[in-house]
Amino acid sequence: MVRFIFIVTLLVVTGGVPLCAETPVRTYDTRAIDAFMDGMDLESSGKYEQAIIAYERAIKFDPGAVDIHFSLARLFLQVDRRTAAKNALLKVIAIEPRNMESLELLGEIAQSELEHKLALSYFDRILDMDHNNDYAILQSAQIFHALGDTIREAELLIRLWELDTDRVAALQRAETIYLNANDYIRITDLYDKLIKRRPTETDLVGRQIRLFLGMNRFFDAEALMDSLIEVAPYSMDLQSMKTDLVKVMHGEMAAVDYLTAVVDEYPESWELKLKLSQLLIDAGESSNARSMIKDILEINPELSNAVSMLVWTYLDVDDVAQAGTVLESYLPAFPDDFFLHRLMGSILQDISVKSRDSTHIQQALDALNTALKIRPEDAQTLHMIAATLDLLDDREGVLQTYLRLIELNPDDDLALNNYAYLLAEGEVSEDTLRYAAEFVERALILNPDNAPYLDTAGWIYFKLGHVQLAREFIDRSLNINPDNPEVLMHMGDVLEYLGKSNEAYIYYMRAGKLR
């Protein structure tokens, strides 16, 4: 027999430790090599069955050739001959027990056949050789999930995250498991470990704080915050979180006092000054907040959120006109800021409602349309535009706006109701009323206990001649909100139609007192 000798020099490493400096000399039968090469050529050309025959012939010449057995196994998998593939892989690990690729494939095959414990045994063998093999860890976690052992799944997912902190999904899944299991000891231990490693990672700190608060461990939450701030007192994120915690534990004014002291220590931190301004607004100290926000804007005029907060210091004390004047002065610097333009529209709308000044109404509409150009599908802006068009008595414009809202979101119950009510106004045909009824009925499916929607349906049914049904709906509306003058008038009209003038008079009187 002709023998062909290869001398292969390899550094075999497991866990970074060399097993040997050089593999033993391995001899190969040239006939096996020829058959193996034939098989590779046949496989690459898609002739799988012929390739299998070639590989099997090669194995007859050299039964101990791991590479040939493994190639045959992979080809068996490709043609979906799983049993043959398993047998070939088992031969590989019988010859070379530490062959990880074969163990991985065996594990995958067992998983696909729902032999979870068998699959786990293969991945365990891999982890015995390579404790940090991320693929084996991930597969083992999935197996424990399939077996219903979510705690073991979580432990493996945490190991996976520790190997690669970019695997945030693995960590989040582990957290979810512990939280669903109400295993607060494990989740607390996890957060403790993570926070010690990354003390300024505010997202992790926030989770731990929320967990402590959920467990009513307020003092533990405060102690954790204090310890972290001691390590990183310059962290504005941590100081902000501490302020929120003080507010939860000790109230709004305590939070104001705490953050005021921090701002005094770090006067250049405009972020904390802005947060303090919001706290002051919430505490009814708008004038103090206003001066602070103005100082911030002098240094950082590009801060649109500071502009909106400054405007709110005037809205908070019902000085709508001054709010509009202030916003108008800043608005040219923010031509593409959706929220500021919408806020301007809202302010002008409020002014126009009080003054009934058509100039302000048009200005409000212009501001809202500018906002809509920036965000064409914003539902809140479209609702505000509909209300503004209504002030202009532009019935057709209002109808088109509500239709646009319904096109964007068929489940916008407010748009459905308002469109129906507007359609039914005045003298309209029976077909129009029936069409309107379809929309309010859709609104009631979405929100069955809404008093205005019940009234809309009742009023449309009344105009359709379904008087008793109308009375039932309007009565349901009044049971929810008995002090709506328009609904009271509707009930009076229904009762008057039914010949119950005395009862109708009572409803008319109540409506008149509320107007």
* DSSP symbols for 446-514: H-TT-HHHHHHHHHHHHHHT-HHHHHHHHHHHHHH-TT-HHHHHHHHHHHHHTT-HHHHHHHHHHHHHH
Query: Considering the domain boundaries, does residue 5 fall inside one?
Result: no
> What pLDDT score does 201 carry?
65
Say which range, 207-221, 383-397, 445-459, has the weakest mean pLDDT.
207-221
**Token pair for 205:** 């700190």
Query: Considering the domain boundaries, does residue 398 fall inside one?
Result: no
> What pLDDT score does 18 carry?
41
**Token pair for 186:** 């494990």
| Residue 200 banded pLDDT, cuts 50, 70, 90 | low
Distance between CA atoms of 242 and 248, rounded to whole angstroms?
A: 10
Say if residue 17's pLDDT is above 60: no
Say if residue 374's pLDDT is above 80: yes
| Residue 162 banded pLDDT, cuts 50, 70, 90 | confident
| Residue 454 banded pLDDT, cuts 50, 70, 90 | very high
CATH number at residue 268: 1.25.40.10
> What pLDDT score does 28 carry?
60
Query: Considering the domain boundaries, does residue 313 fall inside one?
Result: yes
| Residue 3 banded pLDDT, cuts 50, 70, 90 | very low
> What pLDDT score does 199 carry?
62
* pLDDT (tens digit per residue) in 261-310: 988 888 888 888 999 998 998 888 888 899 999 999 999 999 999 999 99
Over pLDDT 90: what percentage of the chain?
Answer: 47
Tokens 């979510």 belong to 150
In this structure, what DSSP letter does residue 333 have?
G
Buried b (16+ CB within 10 A) or exposed e, 98-131: ebbebbbbbbebbbeeeebeebbebbebbeeeee
Query: Considering the domain boundaries, does residue 266 fall inside one?
Result: yes
Cα–Cα nearest to 402, from 415, 390, 384:
415
In this structure, what DSSP letter does residue 411 have?
T
> What pLDDT score does 15 carry?
38
Query: Considering the domain boundaries, does residue 292 fall inside one?
Result: yes
| Pairwise pLDDT comparison (188 vs 75), residue with the higher score | 75
Q: How far apart, in Å, are the Cα atoms of 85 and each of 52, 59, 77?
A: 11, 14, 6
Give the mean model confidence (pLDDT) for residues 328-342.
95
| Residue 163 banded pLDDT, cuts 50, 70, 90 | confident
**Burial of residue 467 (number of CB atoms within 10 Å: 0-12, 13-18, 19+):** middle
* pLDDT (tens digit per residue) in 398-441: 999 999 999 999 999 999 999 999 999 989 999 999 999 999 99
| Residue 188 banded pLDDT, cuts 50, 70, 90 | confident
Query: Considering the domain boundaries, does residue 291 fall inside one?
Result: yes
Distance between CA atoms of 402 and 424, rounded to whole angstroms?
A: 14
Distance between CA atoms of 236 and 434, rounded to whole angstroms?
A: 60
Q: Can you give the residue range of the structural domain that contains 278?
A: 251-319
Distance between CA atoms of 6 and 433, rounded to whole angstroms?
A: 92
| Pairwise pLDDT comparison (93 vs 175), residue with the higher score | 93
Say if residue 12's pLDDT is above 60: no
The secondary structure element, H or E, covering residue 14 is strand 12-14
Distance between CA atoms of 140 and 379, rounded to whole angstroms?
A: 47
Distance between CA atoms of 369 and 444, rounded to whole angstroms?
A: 30
> What pLDDT score does 21 carry?
43
> What pLDDT score does 472 carry?
96
Mean pLDDT of the chain: 86
Q: Find out whether 12 and 24 touch, Cβ atoms under 8 Å.
A: no
Cα–Cα nearest to 266, from 291, 290, 238, 285:
238
Instruction: Name the packing angle between helices 66-78 and 82-95 (round to 10°).
Output: 160
Say if residue 512's pLDDT is above 80: yes
> What pLDDT score does 27 carry?
59
Q: For residue 401, how many C-alpha atoms fall within 13 Å in the half-sphere facing its CB? A: 25
Query: In total, how many domains does the chain have?
Result: 1
Query: Considering the domain boundaries, does residue 356 fall inside one?
Result: no
Say which range, 156-165, 457-466, 476-485, has the weakest mean pLDDT.
156-165
Query: Considering the domain boundaries, does residue 85 fall inside one?
Result: no
| Residue 159 banded pLDDT, cuts 50, 70, 90 | confident
Any idea what the Cα angle at residue 386 is, between residues 385 and 390, rounded to 5°?
Answer: 115
Give the mean model confidence (pLDDT) for residues 337-358.
90
Say if residue 4's pLDDT is above 70: no
> What pLDDT score does 1 carry?
34
Distance between CA atoms of 475 and 498, rounded to whole angstroms?
A: 15
| Pairwise pLDDT comparison (208 vs 174), residue with the higher score | 174
> What pLDDT score does 197 carry?
67
Q: Are strands 17-20 and 12-14 parallel, antiparallel or unpaired?
A: antiparallel
